DNA sequence: ACATTCCCAAGCAAATTAGTCAAGATTATC
DNA sequence: GATAATCTTGACTAATTTGCTTGGGAATGT
C-alpha cells in the first residue's frame, strides 16, 4: 500500500468535484486551476478514476466530469486504490513464496495491515469530507479568490472519525 | 506518510531481532540470511534505527544488534517512522501555504489521516507480532531450515487488533 | 466548421528505492 | 599485538515511481 501525493491529488480532485456538484459537468481545467494541479497529470489520474467508474465524463463543449455515484457512496480508500495501481508490492505478491519458496516473516502482517487501513479509509466518504468546516472554508476561498478569509484553523478530524474506534 | 517495502524490511528485521532476543547480540549477517535482505541495505536501515535508539549495537567479534528496549515497548509505527524520513511530503510541509500561500483543500485531512494511521500502528508492538501463531511458525522454519513444516495458514490479524475498534 | 472538451500514448527529469562497493573503527580472541 | 569479526560510514548505481510535458487524436455542442 502507498499513501503519497498521487492519492492526495486524486482525493483532492474528487473532493473538488463533489463540492461543485449540481453545476453540471466540471472541466479538468477548472479543477487544475482551483487545486493547482497540472492539467495533463489530472487527465492521467481521471483516466484511472473513470475506469473504476468513480467519475463519469461528458465530451465536447460544456462537457467535463461528474461523480460516478453520490458523494456519500464514494470513499477515500477507493479513490486511492484507483490511482495507486499496485496495491501490494510484496515480493510475495499474494503467493506465499516470498522467501525460498516459503512465506516470509511478515507476509500476512502487511497484507492484513493494508486491508485494515483500507478498511478505515473506506469508511470516509467524500460527503464526510465536505461536511467538515475547514474544507468548506477553503472551498469558499477557492470559489471567491477576492474576499478576505477568517483565520480559523479547525481540525478536519473529529471524534466520530477516530481510527482507534470508540 | 509512506508504507512501502522499506518500512516492511525494517519491521521484519526488528521482528527477527525480537525473536532471537536472549541469544546475545545478533549480527546483521544473520538477519540478512534469515530474512533474505541485502546486508548493506540492512546496514543503512539499522543506521537509522540506531539513531532513534530502537536498537543498540555492540562492535567487534561476538557483537551485533539487540533491541533498544523491550519488545513490548517498541511499536511498528516507530520503526516505520525511523526509516521513512520524510513523514509528510505535502507541498505544504506543515505550513499552510500549499496553494497560492493559502491552505489547500485537503491539507489537514492528510496530516490528520497520517496521524490516525500512525496512531494505529503505534499500538502494535513487536511483542504483539511475536505472540501471533503464524509468525512463530515461520520463525521456527527459519531457524530450522531442514524440518518439514505444517501447512497451516493462520491470519495474523485477529479481532483484538482491529483497526476499526470495538 | 469550429472551439471545447475528453482521451491516449510517448517521453522525460527528479526523486526514491534497493542495492553494491569500498573504506574505515572497534573489540574479542588467539 | 595480530587477526578476524563486526559495526559504521559514504559514495556510487540501476531500477522504479512520481509528477509533468508534449503532441496528437476523438467526440460533441454551438
A chain contacts of residue B18, beta-carbon cutoff 8 Å: none
B64 Cβ contacts chain D strand, under 7 Å: yes
CA of A17 to C1' of D19 (A): 21
B chain contacts of residue A3, beta-carbon cutoff 8 Å: 1-3, 113-114, 117
* Mutation site for A-interface testing, chosen from B106, B121, B143 by largest number of A Cβ within 10 Å: B106
Q: What is the pLDDT of residue B138?
A: 61
Mapping DSSP to helix (H, G, I), strand (E, B) and coil, where does residue A56 land? strand
Please state, in angstroms and as integers, the Cα–Cα distance from residue B29 to each residue in A54, B38, B50, B59, B65, following that order.
48, 9, 17, 13, 11
Q: What is the pLDDT of residue A4?
A: 75
User: What cell numbers appear for B139 in the block?
Assistant: 520463525
Considering chain A, what is the average pLDDT of its residues?
A: 75
**Model confidence band, residue A155 (pLDDT cutoffs 50, 70, 90):** very low
Measured over the CA atoms of residue B10, residue B11, residue B16 and residue B20, the dihedral's sign is positive
**Which nucleotide shows the minimum CA-to-C1' distance to residue A40?**
D20
Query: Is 60 exceeded by the pLDDT of residue A130?
Result: yes
Express as a percent the part of chain A with pLDDT over 70.
62
Q: What is the pLDDT of residue A47?
A: 95
Query: Is 90 exceeded by the pLDDT of residue A68?
Result: yes
A5-35 pLDDT, tens digit per residue, is: 788 889 989 988 998 988 999 999 999 988 8
Q: Which of B91, B81, B147 is nearest to B118 (CA)?
A: B81
Give me the residue from A102, A106, A121 closest to B141, CB to CB. A102
A156 and B108 within 8 Å at the Cβ level: the answer is yes
For A149, list phi and psi in degrees, rounded to 5.
-110, 160
Q: What is the pLDDT of residue A89?
A: 44
Q: What is the pLDDT of residue B26?
A: 95
A chain contacts of residue B153, beta-carbon cutoff 8 Å: 96
**Residues in a beta bridge with B33:** none
Tell me how far apart the alpha carbons of residues A7 and A80 are, in angstroms, rounded to a whole number.
Answer: 5
Tell me how far apart the alpha carbons of residues A143 and A89 are, in angstroms, rounded to a whole number.
Answer: 39
A100 Cβ contacts chain D strand, under 7 Å: no
CA of B42 to C1' of D12 (A): 17
B163 and A116 within 8 Å at the Cβ level: the answer is yes
Residue showing cell 515497548: B73
CA of B52 to C1' of D10 (A): 20
Nucleotides of D under 7 A from a protein CB: 4-11, 17-23, 26-30
**Model confidence band, residue B160 (pLDDT cutoffs 50, 70, 90):** very low
Q: Are B116 and A116 in contact (CB under 8 A)?
A: no
B63-97 pLDDT, tens digit per residue, is: 999 999 999 999 988 998 898 765 444 455 444 55
B96-154 pLDDT, tens digit per residue, is: 555 554 556 666 677 677 777 778 788 889 998 888 766 566 666 666 655 544 433 33
Residue showing cell 505544504: B92
Beta strands in chain A (DSSP E): 55-58, 64-67
B61 Cβ contacts chain D strand, under 7 Å: yes
Q: Which of residues 29-88 of A touch strand D (CB under 7 A)?
A: 37-41, 43-44, 58-63, 84, 86
Q: What is the pLDDT of residue B156?
A: 36
Q: Which of B165, B83, B38, B26 is nearest to A163 (CA)?
A: B165
Query: Is 50 exceeded by the pLDDT of residue B163?
Result: no
Q: How far apart are the first and last CA of chain A?
A: 25
B chain contacts of residue A26, beta-carbon cutoff 8 Å: none
> How many CA atoms within 13 Å lie on the side-chain side of B77?
14
A96 and B135 within 8 Å at the Cβ level: the answer is no
**Which nucleotide shows the minimum CA-to-C1' distance to residue A84?**
D17
Tell me how far apart the alpha carbons of residues A21 and A66 are, in angstroms, rounded to a whole number.
Answer: 7
B58 Cβ contacts chain D strand, under 7 Å: yes
**pTM higher than the cut 0.85:** no
Query: Is 70 exceeded by the pLDDT of residue A101?
Result: no
Q: How far is A5 from chain B (nearest CA, A)?
A: 7
Burial B72-98 (b: 16+ CB within 10 A, else e): eebbbbbbbbbbbeeeeebebeeeeeb
Amino acid at each position: 500500500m502507498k499513501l503519497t501525493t498521487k492519492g492526495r491529488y486524486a482525493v483532492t480532485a474528487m473532493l473538488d468535484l463533489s463540492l461543485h456538484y449540481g453545476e453540471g459537468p466540471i472541466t479538468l481545467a477548472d479543477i487544475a486551476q482551483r487545486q493547482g494541479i497540472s492539467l495533463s497529470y489530472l487527465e492521467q489520474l481521471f483516466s484511472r478514476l473513470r475506469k473504476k467508474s468513480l467519475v463519469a465524463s461528458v465530451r465536447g463543449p460544456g462537457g467535463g466530469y461528474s461523480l460516478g455515484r453520490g458523494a456519500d457512496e464514494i470513499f477515500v480508500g477507493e479513490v486511492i486504490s484507483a490511482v495507486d495501481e499496485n496495491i501490494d508490492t510484496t515480493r510475495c505478491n499474494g503467493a506465499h513464496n516470498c522467501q525460498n519458496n516459503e512465506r516470509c516473516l511478515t507476509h500476512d502482517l502487511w497484507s492484513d495491515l493494508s486491508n485494515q487501513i483500507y478498511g478505515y479509509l473506506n469508511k470516509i466518504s467524500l460527503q464526510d469530507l465536505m461536511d467538515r468546516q475547514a474544507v468548506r472554508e477553503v472551498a469558499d476561498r477557492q470559489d471567491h479568490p477576492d474576499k478576505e478569509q477568517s483565520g480559523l484553523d479547525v481540525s478536519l478530524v473529529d471524534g466520530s472519525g477516530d481510527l482507534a474506534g470508540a
